[in-house]
Amino acid sequence: MKTKQFKSESKKLMDMMINSIYTHKEIFLREIISNSSDAIDKLYFKSLTDQSVGIKADEFKIEIKLDKENRTVTVSDNGIGMSEEELDKNLGTIAKSGSFDFKAENEETENVDIIGQFGVGFYSAFMVSDEVTVETKKFGSDEAFRFNSKGADGYTVSSCEKESVGTTVIMHIKPDTDDEKYSEYLDQYRISALIKKYSDYIRHPIVMDFETKKPIEGKENEYEDVVEKRTLNSMIPIWKRSKGELKDEDYNNFYKEKFMDFEDPANVIHTSTEGAATYSALMFIPKHPPFDYYTKEYEKGLQLYSKGVLIMEKCAELLPDYFSFVKGLVDSEDLSLNISREMLQHDGQLKLIAKTLEKKIKAELEKMLKNEREKYEEFFGAFGIQLKFGCYNDYGMYAETLKDLLIFKSSDNGKYKTLKEYKEQMKEGQEAIYYACGETAERIELLPQCDAVKDKGYQILYLTENVDEFAIMMLREYDGCKFINVCDENLNLDSEEEKQELKAENESAKDMFEEMKKALGDSVNAIRFTNKLKNHAVCLTSEGGISLEMEKTLNSMPGSDQNKVKAQLVLEISATQKIADKLKELYNTDKETLGKYAKLLYGEACLIGGKPVENPAEHTALVLELMTK
């Protein structure tokens, strides 16, 4: 028999488990029981179509045995079991290895979070045990195998005798220390309570020999010691229970265990319907995105049950992409047990369920937005981006559905606004919804282009994510109001008179601008005077459909190298500040310096707009020249 090494990540986790100061060590039992339950589900599912399984539905069970003398807690199941190879693979490595890597790198605080964030599964046994033995026999095989490990040093796998199909996990409980009374896990009452707390809904009976005293018949006040088998769990799936009898804690525990989260969910949606579609659903909106949420690896979907039996782990058809963060399950009587994935996709019943669930989720979010604003803002911080992508994707097909769930920071003290709120708070005479783009709200505040809009008393929505402006563009307008980027060349803020005046001014400076443009080449499309600047001399705006921010975003996308997008930029110069006169003077006296000024002003505008200065060396030299003149 050879001792094998754990894969390095597994070893790390194992070390952590062994030395864990985790306050919820008790969850080890729930993890081991869940594994048993899953294994039974698999065999049960097989038994529906395979006569050779030979176990009746009501014979499936999980057994717990406590042995105080030998300090062992044993959990056995008559589930599907594992082959030698599976034993090695499943218990010698961590299935979700990538996730662990990620967490380990982000390990800042105590390991509480790491253990919680990561579905620790089987290894959690090592939080309370100094030796774990697993004996297992796979359905369809004659051979049984034993896995044994005393900790991070490694494990052995060998042949063993085992009569029936299934798995037995024997945990040797650690000795008590000053801080930790591990012996509590050998106590039948403690174990019963743990099962009630974490595993009550497990569909299969969890039975344990319970030592108790019974009155002796015919003799008053005399008792005898008896051992009786007790089923410790009620076995009613939580989603089949009435809402009235469930406490927040029940939902939270269920969620955390089932969906491997360390935090309670933000919201719970528990609903059942009869009629066109008959189903119960239990859905959760998490407080934070799972570690892989914004990666390609993330799979959306709800668990799908048919009459209490799990038929699919992740049914993607049940959730639209924009609600992909929702976790949960659906149990329906309308679906057949052995329906295939392909058939499901075309199943009308399933589509109907999906539609109603989507409405429920949306309604729940709307309710949160209305009644629990702060919580909604937190939710939006975590998943808002998904809703915004939802607006933009599929050519804006779902923009209508989602538009009232969007919130954006605003110039009103940085507060979040819905589009509806913005619209309601619009000033008299204001016709459009103004927005500005930038990396952060603070940067946006500094944009010279915002001044004129704020001066009018209009609010500005701050768009700080790349996707924001694209989402807004898909909406085109909200309730009859167009969206206008404050960096758009045409802000439409001036009165007719002011417009005429400015037009005349620009007309007369036409030749001067031509001269300046010569110095700037292709960098800008046009140069103009503007009225909108209050505290700055210049700014960059864009004409046409592509803004400066969109240019940045599009050009940062993969594959954009050959196909650079270019915003059509306009260099706007304040018509009312001294610089205007200075330029006019130079045009008449010193064209060479005018060209240098054009370059300088363009550089300044780039700096303020968050666009890299095209030629920093030249820019700096010009500034120096001016300074030393």
Q: Shortest approach of ligand ADP to residue 378 CB, angstroms?
A: 28
Which 121-140 positions form the footprint of ligand ADP (CB under 6 A)? 121-122
Q: State yes or no: residue 468 binds ligand ADP (CB under 6 A).
A: no
Q: Shortest approach of ligand ADP to residue 24 CB, angstroms?
A: 16
Site string for ligand ADP, 62-101 (x = CB under 6 A): ---------------x-xxxx-------xx---x------
Q: Shortest approach of ligand ADP to residue 160 CB, angstroms?
A: 15
**Would you say 20 or 90 has its CB closer to ligand ADP?**
90
Q: State yes or no: residue 39 binds ligand ADP (CB under 6 A).
A: yes
Which 393-432 positions form the footprint of ligand ADP (CB under 6 A)? none
* Residue with token string 């890299």: 612
- What does DSSP assign to residue 488? B
Q: Of the candidates 9, 11, 8, which has an alpha carbon nearest to the alpha carbon of residue 149?
A: 11
Q: What is the dihedral of CA 506, 507, 509, 513, to 10 degrees?
A: 80
Q: Nearest 5 degrees, angle CA 130-CA 194-CA 233?
A: 125
Alpha carbon distance 573, 503 (integer Å): 14
**Would you say 12 or 241 has its CB closer to ligand ADP?**
12
Contact, 486 vs 453, CB < 8 A? yes
**One residue of 13, 17, 22, 36 binding ligand ADP per CB under 6 A:** 36
**One residue of 78, 117, 133, 167 binding ligand ADP per CB under 6 A:** 167
Alpha carbon distance 9, 333 (integer Å): 42
Q: Which residue is nearest to ligand ADP (CB)?
A: 121
Residues 6+ apart with CB under 8 A from 527: 513, 516, 517, 520, 570, 571, 572, 573, 598
**Would you say 82 or 598 has its CB closer to ligand ADP?**
82
Contact, 42 vs 51, CB < 8 A? no
Alpha carbon distance 86, 167 (integer Å): 12
Which sign does the torsion angle of CA 412, 418, 422, 424 carry?
A: negative
Which sign does the torsion angle of CA 199, 203, 207, 213 carry?
A: positive
With contacts defined by CB under 6 A, name the span among 17-25, 118-126, 294-302, 616-624 that binds ligand ADP. 118-126
**One residue of 27, 43, 119, 284 binding ligand ADP per CB under 6 A:** 119
Q: What is the dihedral of CA 324, 330, 333, 336, to 10 degrees?
A: 50
With contacts defined by CB under 6 A, name the span among 35-43, 100-108, 280-288, 531-539 that binds ligand ADP. 35-43
Q: Shortest approach of ligand ADP to residue 426 CB, angstroms?
A: 52
Count residues near ligand ADP (CB under 6 A): 16
Q: Shortest approach of ligand ADP to residue 87 CB, angstroms?
A: 8
Q: Shortest approach of ligand ADP to residue 263 CB, angstroms?
A: 18
Q: Nearest 5 degrees, angle CA 383-CA 387-CA 392?
A: 140
Helix 188-198 to helix 248-259 angle, to the nearest 10 degrees?
Answer: 90
Site string for ligand ADP, 562-591 (x = CB under 6 A): ------------------------------
Q: Shortest approach of ligand ADP to residue 82 CB, angstroms?
A: 5
Q: Shortest approach of ligand ADP to residue 216 CB, angstroms?
A: 40
Contact, 111 vs 20, CB < 8 A? yes
Contact, 437 vs 486, CB < 8 A? no
Residues 6+ apart with CB under 8 A from 241: none
Q: Shortest approach of ligand ADP to residue 561 CB, angstroms?
A: 41
Q: State yes or no: residue 35 binds ligand ADP (CB under 6 A).
A: yes
Outline where 161-273 has alpha helix (H): 188-198, 248-259
Q: Shortest approach of ligand ADP to residue 53 CB, angstroms?
A: 15
With contacts defined by CB under 6 A, name the span among 28-36, 233-241, 324-332, 492-500 that binds ligand ADP. 28-36
With contacts defined by CB under 6 A, name the span among 115-123, 380-388, 391-399, 524-532 that binds ligand ADP. 115-123
**Would you say 36 or 306 has its CB closer to ligand ADP?**
36
**Would you say 20 or 411 has its CB closer to ligand ADP?**
20
Q: Shortest approach of ligand ADP to residue 74 CB, angstroms?
A: 12
Q: Shortest approach of ligand ADP to residue 40 CB, angstroms?
A: 8
Judged by DSSP in three states, 61 sits in coil
Site string for ligand ADP, 605-624 (x = CB under 6 A): --------------------
**Would you say 172 or 409 has its CB closer to ligand ADP?**
172
> E strands along 72-173, which residues?
72-77, 129-137, 144-151, 154-160, 166-173
* Residue with token string 């620790």: 120
Q: State yes or no: residue 157 binds ligand ADP (CB under 6 A).
A: no
Alpha carbon distance 248, 5 (integer Å): 42
Question: What are the residues binding ligand ADP (CB under 6 A)?
Answer: 31, 35-36, 39, 77, 79-82, 90-91, 95, 119, 121-122, 167
